[in-house]
Amino acid sequence: MVSTLTPSQVETASPARPRPKRRSHYPLYFYALPALLFVVLFAVPTFASFYFSLTRWTLFSTTFIGLDNFRQFFSEPNLFSGLTHTFIYAVLTSGTKVVLGILLGVLLTSRIVGRGYLRSVIFFPVLVSTIGVGLTFKILLDPFHGVVNTSLAALGVQGPGWLTDPHLALYSIIGVDVWKGVGIATLIFIAGMVAIPQEYYEAARTDGSSGWQMFVHITLPLLRPATTTVILLSLIGGLRSFDLIWAMTKGGPGFTSDVIASVIYKQYQAGFYGLSTAGNVVLFLLVTAIILPLQLLFNRQGLAK
């Protein structure tokens, strides 16, 4: 692939030759390879998965069973709960990241000591492998030997079973996800805040605005593009989250922290290929159904301004 690209890149990049006017920047054959890759690697599997979700298949044969897989998926409580958990997970992680990200962004664009250092500290967890973070926190949150609960015990507080209490497990993972992902949100917000012209604040200050008024009427509205990006990115990330959950609880205890992705993985592992493909289709439709209207809404509001 590299060798086919190089000559024409050189050609377009060479400043000596006057560039002829073309309707398309590249000749038609230039699109053939990417188009082929797209069809083979993305289009065909996507449509094949729609078909296979209607079958019960092994690696050797398929039986067409209509919508049975979907019926199974929505009727079995242990599968369906995965859908609810996914929703809770996506909304909570996304919302928390926006709020925390803005607050941290405000803090880290103000004149404080060690700003550069603090910025990198906030961003550091983003760089660490998710599996590594998951396993580390699993050890830290161990109800009896973990650092968190032994520290609490030293203060005289009996810490809960963060990952073993069925009512708490999902929320503990959400907390870790926010800790790990808030750096990216903060970074985007910092970029957004730095881009806001200082004149607005100066004008507002002359008019006697308080800090809170400036935050609500200048910073927040002008951060809209950043906010949109953070919400979309973290919602999509939250809806398809898997690695952190798998590393920390494997969906347990029981099925109490199962999300769609981990349900799909378990069904696949068990050899229920049709059912897991149906789960993937459900996930695909869910992500589309949530993200598409959001994207349209944000875009329209952006244009209206």
Alpha-helix residue ranges (DSSP H) falling in the chain: 2-13, 29-38, 44-52, 68-75, 77-109, 115-127, 130-140, 147-154, 169-194, 198-206, 211-214, 220-222, 224-239, 243-248, 260-269, 273-304
Residue found under tokens 């008024």: 213
Name the minimum Å distance from CB 90 to another protein. Answer: 23
Q: Which is nearer to another protein, 24 or 63 (CB)?
A: 63
Q: Which of residues 269-298 bind another protein (CB under 8 A)?
A: 269-272, 274-275
Question: Where does this chain touch another protein (CB under 8 A) — which range of 7-15, 115-123, 205-213, 245-253?
Answer: 245-253
CA 264 – CA 201 distance, rounded (Å)? 50
Please select the residue that binds another protein; options are 166, 197, 221, 293, rule is CB under 8 A. Answer: 166
C-alpha 214/C-alpha 101 separation (Å) is: 18
How big is the site for another protein, counted in residues (CB under 8 A)?
A: 32
Rg of the chain, C-alpha, whole Å: 25
Return the SS3 of 157. coil
Residue 146 to residue 168: CA distance in whole angstroms: 16
| Window 70-109: residues binding another protein (CB under 8 A) | 72, 76-78
3-class secondary-structure state, position 53: coil
Decide: is 243 part of the binding site for another protein (CB under 8 A).
no
Q: How far is the CB of 255 from another protein (least distance, A)?
A: 6
Q: Does 144 bind another protein (CB under 8 A)?
A: yes
Confirm or reject binding of residue 252 to another protein (CB under 8 A): yes
Q: Minimal distance in Å, beta carbon 164 to another protein?
A: 3
Interface region with another protein, contact rule CB under 8 A, candidates 9-17, 179-187, 215-223, 267-275: 267-275
* Among 163, 174, 259, 278, interactor with another protein by CB under 8 A: 163
Give the burial string for 82-101 (b: 16+ CB within 10 Å, else e): bbebbbebbbbbbebbbebb
Task: Summarize as ranges the residues that interact with another protein (CB under 8 A).
Answer: 56, 58-60, 63, 72, 76-78, 142-144, 161, 163-166, 250-256, 266, 268-272, 274-275
